[in-house]
Amino acid sequence: MIRLESFVSGAWNAGRGDGRPFVDPTTGEVLGKVDASGLDMASAIAYARDIGGPALRAMTFAERAALLRAVSDILAANRPRYNEIAIKNAGNTASDAAIDIEGGIGTLKVFSRLGDKLGAVQMLIEPGSDQLAKDDVFRAAHIWTTRPGVAIHINAFNFPSWGLWEKFAVAILAGVPVVAKPASPTAWLAHEMVRDVVAANALPPGALSLVCGTGEGLLDSVSGMDHIAFTGSHDTGAHLRRNPRVFEASPRLNIEADSINATILGPDVANGHDIDALFRREILRALSVKAGQMCTNIRRILVPQARAKEIVDALAADIAKLIIGNPADAEVRVGPLVHVQARDEAVDKIVALTREAGTAAGGGIPGQARDADPKRGAFLAPTLLAAKDADHLRAVHEIEVFGPVATAVPYRDLDHAIALALAGGGSLVASLFSDDPRVGQKVVSQIANAHGRVMTVDSTVGKAHTGHAIVMPQCVHGGPGRAGGGEELGGLRGLRFYMQRTAVQGSPGFLNTLRGTSAEIAL
């Protein structure tokens, strides 16, 4: 049986407890155990901070970019093995696995290129300066320098590769060492990836640590110069905020939580229009890719009231064609959830939603699954719910079913659609499918303040869009309110979390000297 270890204080260490089992969600078979009990987390954090931190801060952005490129090359060379793990442990189809694994590798490459552009410097400077005295002899400029702390990354189960490497890429480019804690149910993939990177000696000692297990005591020694980036549920995020040590030390804390994301079909889109087909295609992705287990996934489908029944019927017919089953089968579109407990929780939440919306497709455990037992495995049928009364919904705007589940909600006019989108209380992403620029302008201007990202699709964009649920490294990821209030990625914008912005006052000549040893960054 596989037993995952933690890489801390420069060495692989096994936990001292029995451990928590992780499984093949298709069959329920126990694959191994994960445990970090008894490990000295204070020493692990100190090692990363005191050994990894100075080594990274001594490097230039271009040198750190080379580290990211080396890591991406190591991971790329091992893709086939990672794919097998993702299918077996995470219930991913081959395309699901590619989103996670290729997404991680691709993000490393994007940030390595950004580091190359910053060049052989260690400091960033914002453009321009401000005159502070009557005579132009005293000005102020703003610089960014690396904070002398550690980055603790607590990741969700649904993206064991992408979640690990997208956070790692930004922190390392900024010059901050990383202690990563993957979610236990799918930690196997992260474990193997880090083991390969460690074996290749691709990073300075202390630059990357990995905690496989509960991570008890991980936050007990954080300081005010450290950084905690969390992806997961709203409840766990709230628990982190209340942690006594976090509250006392006030490290930087970034939370990306669950989100009741919405997509809107514009009132201008008629049946048979190209935009109509693109909209339906995106809904089908939401109900199939990674079995719906994406924090950015579509949960509410806002459609014109006059077309609601027609759209729901068409989507239900599309859903009926999806093949559910063993993700190792190339024809399967929908694999299992991460484990049966997640499946059972999803079923309970569907029941809560059906008090406000009828079931148009799915609704529970499927009757059959290709090459798998639907009850023994963690399978949930792709589920489309349909609300009739949009004005008295509560659960639809508050309950996220973390699986292939979405609710269609009819709107009367564009103002009503905007109000419904905002009822989510802050979301990671919203999307609009419309060919009318006036519709786009109104929607974006009125919902942007409640969303981290807004994707608009018209005929010009067509199939070229990257997808409602897909997070691109060039774009910020996060959202206000219920979504956690955090922000990560966004190209060089992501460096801000790990760097200190400082106003430097001095003579124009001195500020020009600083500018000559810095990379200019205009954000």
Closest CA to 209 of 224, 223, 226, 190: 190
Question: Per the CATH hierarchy, to which homologous superfamily does domain 261-478 belong?
Answer: Aldehyde Dehydrogenase; Chain A, domain 2 (3.40.309.10)
Instruction: Give the per-residue pLDDT at 234.
Output: 83
Closest CA to 427 of 281, 264, 259: 259
Check pLDDT > 80 for residue 233.
Answer: yes
**Which residues are registered as beta bridge partners of 408?**
301, 386
Instruction: Give the per-residue pLDDT at 235.
Output: 84
Helix H or strand E encompassing 489: strand 486-489
The whole-model pTM stands at 0.92
Range from 63-67, 140-144, 334-338, 371-375 carrying the lowest mean pLDDT:
371-375
Q: CATH 3.40.605.10 residue ranges in the chain? A: 2-257+486-520
- Among 166, 295, 400, 487, the one annotated catalytic: 295
Check pLDDT > 90 for residue 215.
Answer: no
Query: Could you tell me how far CA 314 lies from the centroid of its own chain?
Result: 30
Q: Is 475 a catalytic residue?
A: no
Residue 323: pLDDT band by 50, 70, 90 thresholds?
Answer: very high
Quick count: other Cβ atoms within 10 Å of Cβ 282? Answer: 21
Q: Is 404 left (phi over 0), alpha (psi -120 to 50) or beta?
A: beta
Instruction: Give the per-residue pLDDT at 344.
Output: 95
* Distant-in-sequence contacts of 126-129, Cβ < 8 A, 24+ apart: 126/501, 126/520, 126/521, 126/522, 126/523, 127/520, 127/522, 129/508, 129/511
pLDDT digits (tens, 9 = 90+) for 162-192: 999 999 999 999 999 999 999 999 999 999 9
Instruction: Give the per-residue pLDDT at 364.
Output: 92
Check pLDDT > 80 for residue 398.
Answer: yes
Check pLDDT > 90 for residue 88.
Answer: yes
Check pLDDT > 80 for residue 368.
Answer: yes
Taking CA atoms, 22 is separated from 34, 96, 115, 183, 414, in Å, by 7, 19, 37, 10, 46
Tell me if 394 sits within 8 A of 227, measured CB to CB.
Answer: no
Instruction: Give the per-residue pLDDT at 165.
Output: 97
Check pLDDT > 80 for residue 18.
Answer: yes
Query: Could you tell me how far CA 45 lies from the centroid of its own chain?
Result: 24
pLDDT digits (tens, 9 = 90+) for 108-124: 999 999 999 999 999 99
Segment 48-55 mean pLDDT = 97
Question: Per the CATH hierarchy, to which homologous superfamily does domain 2-257+486-520 belong?
Answer: Aldehyde Dehydrogenase; Chain A, domain 1 (3.40.605.10)
Check pLDDT > 90 for residue 408.
Answer: yes
Q: Is 212 a catalytic residue?
A: no
Residue 352: pLDDT band by 50, 70, 90 thresholds?
Answer: very high
Please, what's the b/e burial string for 489-505 (b: 16 or more CB within 10 A of its CB; e: otherwise)? bbbbbbbbbbbeeeeee
Exposed/middle/buried for residue 379 (C-beta within 10 Å: 0-12, 13-18, 19+): buried
Residue 396: pLDDT band by 50, 70, 90 thresholds?
Answer: very high
Instruction: Give the per-residue pLDDT at 114.
Output: 97
Residue 237: pLDDT band by 50, 70, 90 thresholds?
Answer: confident
Closest CA to 79 of 192, 207, 199: 192
Check pLDDT > 90 for residue 216.
Answer: no
Residue with tokens 């040198």: 63
Closest CA to 208 of 216, 219, 223, 197: 197
Exposed/middle/buried for residue 306 (C-beta within 10 Å: 0-12, 13-18, 19+): exposed
- Among 5, 192, 256, 487, the one annotated catalytic: 256
> What whole-number percentage of the chain has pLDDT above 90?
93
Segment 438-457 mean pLDDT = 96
Segment 487-505 mean pLDDT = 95
Q: CATH 3.40.309.10 residue ranges in the chain? A: 261-478
Helix H or strand E encompassing 414: helix 414-422
pLDDT digits (tens, 9 = 90+) for 257-289: 889 999 999 999 988 889 999 999 999 999 999
